[in-house]
Structure 1
């Protein structure tokens, strides 16, 4: 047991060094890279293939959008049922992310769903792990974001159905997500995920600098709070 504890401690030290040493010296408006979660670094040591860039291997035809929507919902519900939720105290003490454990916490659900979608041919750039804060409780939580076309969907172990990101922002504040450019990097916002759809440099600056309030973010983009929001109208957490 003592040897195992020493090995785990050494792995955590290596993961910490990885988190610090692989980050850039500065970040731009478009990227805003941040240190990834320590548990994610440990996960990449245990499952290195899950943290490599993977291309899109899906078949594309006129029926593909509906099929992918059903696929997201099927995988979300299947994993939610297959993994037994850990008790609150045990979940808080567990920093090891596992694929298909018998019981697990929110991060185990998220990485398992991502694993299944990668095996189904989805590209890594469309499957981003995300850390959020639950507005109602203030708790930190992990979900999986899946991009399909111009939409971004949220796969969550607390929800039986997949919902769009703009709807999920009523419940969550985004803290940091994987970068779509490199699976091992994390970003403070979804800027790197959505910047290709934004317009001028001034618009990008307004997007990157908008405040925590979703109402103010929408106002910066000329969106009325009562109108239907596009997926890119997101919150930014400092």
Structure 2
């Protein structure tokens, strides 16, 4: 059963703002650390070629987005709404190909959920620099895509496998790479071992559909 939005609102109202946004590399930090450039997923590159407006910068602030309680509640609402409205299905089932990133209609896989949530939040006024597509390894070691909301309050994860919006360090995932907040077409590594790991995940063909 889904946790209530009221419970989420109570939780976000108690979030403490850190003294320094990007100062810690510890796993328990509310903020991710980056380790240089990474190769973007192949499906993402093709998505941008087909949908350039979805991958353009809005020249928004480079500093972290200072999200109000109302803004943080939007993360929960969008996460739950998209998870409810889109049925899980592989790209092979829907499009007849192994990997195809797109805004879903009624069915999609993990990156499609993330793309839709990003699209919806941007329409609500969230800056592009705060909404970063992210690649992880899930509990089974398989490629998985989520959306990171980069805020002063922390890096929050919107996930089609988890209904609650959580700080990244409270998820069961190994974080591999994500979009750069400076340029949505550029990706950065989130793991010092990123090289071969990211290459193996760049297609996400073996992603979990749970």
TM-score w.r.t. length of structure 1:
0.60
Q: CA deviation at 1:87?
A: 5.1
Tell me which of the two structures has the higher relative contact order, counting C-alpha pairs closer than 8 angstroms and 6 or more residues apart: 2
Give the corresponding residue for 1:187: 188
Contact 2:128–2:184 (Cα < 8 Å) also in 1: yes
Q: Which residues of 2 match residues 18-37 of structure 1 at below 5 A?
A: 32-37=36-41
Give the corresponding residue for 1:153: 156
Residue ranges of structure 2 left out of the alignment (5+ in a row): 1-32, 199-210
Root-mean-square deviation (CA), in Å? Answer: 2.7
Contact 2:34–2:188 (Cα < 8 Å) also in 1: no
Q: CA deviation at 1:122?
A: 1.0
1:159-214 Cα offsets, whole Å, 9 max, x none, are 1110111212xx1011111111110001112xxxxxxxxxxxxxxxxxx85x89xx
Structure with a larger share of its residues in helix: 1
Q: In the aligned structure 2, how far is the partner of 1:88 from the partner of 1:45?
A: 18
Helix, strand or coil: the match of 1:54?
Answer: coil
Q: CA deviation at 1:128?
A: 0.5
Q: In the aligned structure 1, how far is the partner of 2:99 from the partner of 2:106?
A: 15
> Segments of 4+ in structure 1 off by > 2 A?
87-94
Q: CA deviation at 1:56?
A: 4.6
Q: In the aligned structure 1, how far is the partner of 2:91 from the partner of 2:42?
A: 20
Q: Which has the larger radius of gyration?
A: 1
Q: In the aligned structure 2, how far is the partner of 1:48 from the partner of 1:31?
A: 27
Helix, strand or coil: the match of 2:68?
Answer: helix
Give the corresponding residue for 2:80: 77
